[in-house]
Structure 1
Amino acid sequence: MNRIPMISVAFAATLGLAACEPATPDVPGSNIPTGAYVLVGIGSDTVPQRNVGMTIAADGSISGKAPCNQYSASQTAEPPGFALGPLTTTEMACSGNAGRLETRYLQALSAADGITFEGGVLTIKGPTYLTYEPGYRKE
């Protein structure tokens, strides 16, 4: 078997696949994809329940549902900056572990000042980091 044609085919296929990769903008941090995300980490803790979701709209605004309440806010900074306008939430009762997670999450989100998307992971940065993966929260 002749290896040179096989190597050429593999090389051509690799180049073809590389052309399908999304282009990274020249401005660092400006590659934040819109869509649905699920919280997988808050600070150094994991969120195994996957019961906190967030959607980033084309205008940069965010909305979602924490364990108990829905929330939304405008986002006024250019990435990699992050600055939320007033955070609006519904006011359903939320107690126990769900209530503690929700309070911690909304406080961290309100205090955040940066956002990045690298390796398929969205990170909202601040005194407490929030880590998300693309996807939807569990109901």
Structure 2
Amino acid sequence: MTRIPLISAAIAATLGLAACEPTTSSTPGANIPTGPYVLVGIGSDTVPQRNVGMTIEADGSISGQAPCNHYSAPQTAEPPGFALGPIVTTKMGCGGGAGRLERRYLEALQGANGITFEGGVLTVQGPTYLTYEPGYRKEK
């Protein structure tokens, strides 16, 4: 007789916790958690500096900080699709390795056409894949 209340409580607690994680989509298999991410890979290269961040907002739009400039863009596709409107950036000078990374990153982001979240890894797919982990970019 005490098992039914315990089972009911366990189910209610599980459902309550599941409702706490915001996502951008209700499409099965395409739930993308909102919040901050840090870039750890671009194409087949790692990004050990962890100096590129992206935040996914509840409406699907993105914003973040590349090595030198802040950026933002509306996202118009339903996950697992991914289509950005124009990326708006600040216009700070950015040379050397940081400038090359920033240009490569923003080009890959603009050309992206898919997004997935599996095993704690966010992948933005396109001609050049971008791989993120939840978290914040490393400040200088």
Number of the residue aligned with 2:58? 58
Please report how far the alpha carbon of residue 27 of structure 1 lies from its aligned counterpart in structure 2 after TM superposition. Answer: 1.9
2:117 counterpart letter in structure 1 = F
Shift of residue 34, structure 1, vs aligned partner: 0.4
- State the alpha-carbon separation in 2 of the partners of residues 33 and 129 from structure 1: 18
Instruction: Specify the alignment match of 1:83 in structure 2.
Output: 83
| Per-residue Cα deviation, 1:1-23 (whole angstroms, up to 9, x for no partner) | xxxxxxxxxxx9xxx6x947748
CA RMSD of aligned residues (A): 2.1
TM-score by length of 2: 0.82
SS state at 1:100 partner: helix
Partner of 2:133: 133
Distance in structure 2 (CA, Å) of the matches to 1:27 and 1:43: 27
Matches within 5 A, 1:1-139: 19=14, 22=18, 27-29=28-30, 31-139=31-139
Alpha-carbon distance between aligned partners in 1 of 2:76 and 2:99, rounded to the nearest angstrom:
28
CA drift at 1:35:
0.3
Structure 2: which 5+ runs fail to align? 1-5, 20-25
Superposed displacement of residue 28, structure 1:
2.3
Q: What secondary structure is seen at the aligned counterpart in 2 of 1:80?
A: coil
2:3 is matched with none
Aligned-pair CA distance for 1:92: 0.4
Cα deviation 1:86-124 (Å, max 9, x = unaligned)? 100011000000000000000000000000000000000
Matched positions, count: 124
Give the aligned residue type for 2:133: E
Does the C-alpha gap of structure 1 residues 123 and 19 become closer, same or farther in structure 2, counting only changes over 3 Å? same
Unmatched 5+ residue regions in structure 1? 1-11
Deviation at 1:54, TM superposition (A): 0.3
